[in-house]
Amino acid sequence: MAEHGQVNNELEIIEFLIDETQVDGTVYSGHYGINVAKVLEIIRLPEVTSVPSKHDSSVLGTFNLRGKVLPILDLAAWLGKKIAATDNTKVIVTEFSGVKAAFLVSAVRSIHRLTWDRIEPPNKYVLAYSKDSITGVLRIDDRVLFVLDMEKILASMDSSLDMSNIEVDSTPVEGAAHFNLLVADDSSSLRAILRSSLEKSGFNVTTARSGRDAWEQLMKVQSDAQAEGLSVTDKIHLVISDIEMPEMDGHELTARIRANPATKDMPVILFSSLITEALRAKGVKVGADRQVSKPDLPGLNRIIRELITDKLNK
């Protein structure tokens, strides 16, 4: 399995700083991270046009980037901090779910290439500290990096991007009660939405909080099935997994499913906020049956039906 981890479970994190001015006037540097796959470019602070009647004080306004008007948000302010004044601030331009936006930070430090198992899930104290916006914790040398959920932060500016408001097709599916689905996602709110919608369609749904959790559940089901003289695919019929998750990503999970003789034919659907060409190629390489972006999740019901139909016709 190590070989798959080296190929599929890797990511690159851009480390950036937020220099916070504290009550006593001293400056504290917080270390944060963002997945390189979501970053378009890093620029100097441009000329910003303020936005009239803005409701969120962390939204600085908009700026023009090669003919495209983008919103810019002060990350420190959003986190309830006051960014220290400096002439060297940077702006990280991102794209999530087809939407481009920019975030003001104090400095960009370096890029770290690592595996998802280095990313620890945040505990409840870390989540409370960050307004529930930290998806992972990374320890590098003598410092701790908090990997921010930039999608959640961006959704605070535009409610249409809030994945907790997503409505997945819950039309009843004939024969769905005979199929057991395993859904893996590190977002508790999205897990709950997917589970509720798919159960309304009639499917039996089990959830996992990461790729590792999903894999361990599959291995437990496989062991139980063997004891009953059954196959794991008699008990779990399809896996739906986010790509980016702490501990083990969706690509590694899919690679393990395909490498295991007992699960190699199990249908797998992968999703992410942004399916780039590189991600799509990687998904094809590891053997995903379908790949969808999060904005396309409302149509998940249809995709599952297609895969189930294909399975029944084989």
What single string gives the DSSP state of each residue in 290-305?
EEEEGGGGGGHHHHHH
pLDDT value, residue 3 = 36
Domain count, the chain: 2
Alpha helices in the chain (DSSP H): 2-8, 75-78, 124-129, 150-155, 188-200, 211-227, 250-259, 277-286, 300-313
Do 174 and 263 share a domain, yes or no?
yes
Do 244 and 156 share a domain, yes or no?
no
pLDDT value, residue 299 = 84
Residue 85 CB-density burial (10 A; 0-12 exposed, 13-18 middle, 19+ buried): exposed
2 pLDDT band, cuts 50/70/90, is very low
Range(s) of the domain holding residue 117: 2-161
State the first-to-last Cα distance of the chain, in angstroms, to the nearest integer: 29
Do 173 and 229 share a domain, yes or no?
yes
Q: Contact at 8 Å (CB) between 32 and 16?
A: yes
Picking from 161, 183, 216, the residue at the C-terminal end of a domain is: 161
What are the tens digits of pLDDT across the range 279-313?
Answer: 899 999 999 999 998 777 778 888 998 888 777 66
Picking from 145, 161, 177, the residue at the C-terminal end of a domain is: 161
* Calpha distance 98→130 (Å, rounded): 25
DSSP state of 120: B
Do 141 and 26 share a domain, yes or no?
yes
Do 233 and 304 share a domain, yes or no?
yes
Do 187 and 273 share a domain, yes or no?
yes
For tokens 């942004």, name the residue.
274
Do 61 and 204 share a domain, yes or no?
no
Do 77 and 135 share a domain, yes or no?
yes
59 pLDDT band, cuts 50/70/90, is confident
Do 295 and 275 share a domain, yes or no?
yes
- Residue 28: CATH number of its domain: 2.40.50.180
* Conformational region of residue 171, where left means phi above 0, alpha means psi within -120 to 50, and beta covers everything else: beta
166 pLDDT band, cuts 50/70/90, is low
* Calpha distance 276→208 (Å, rounded): 24
133 pLDDT band, cuts 50/70/90, is confident
Q: Of 148-157, 233-242, 244-253, which range is least confident?
A: 148-157
Do 259 and 141 share a domain, yes or no?
no
Average pLDDT over residues 123-137: 80
Amino acid in position 84: A
* Conformational region of residue 106, where left means phi above 0, alpha means psi within -120 to 50, and beta covers everything else: alpha
Do 140 and 188 share a domain, yes or no?
no
pLDDT at 77 over 50: yes
- Residue 214: CATH number of its domain: 3.40.50.2300
Dmax of the chain from CA atoms? 70
pLDDT at 164 over 80: no
Report how far apart, in Å, the C-alpha atoms of 121 and of each of 106, 144, 210, 260, 291 are: 25, 13, 9, 26, 24
Do 196 and 219 share a domain, yes or no?
yes
Percent of the chain with pLDDT over 70: 91
* Calpha distance 39→41 (Å, rounded): 6
Helix axes 188-200, 300-313, angle to 10 degrees: 60
Picking from 101, 126, 161, the residue at the C-terminal end of a domain is: 161
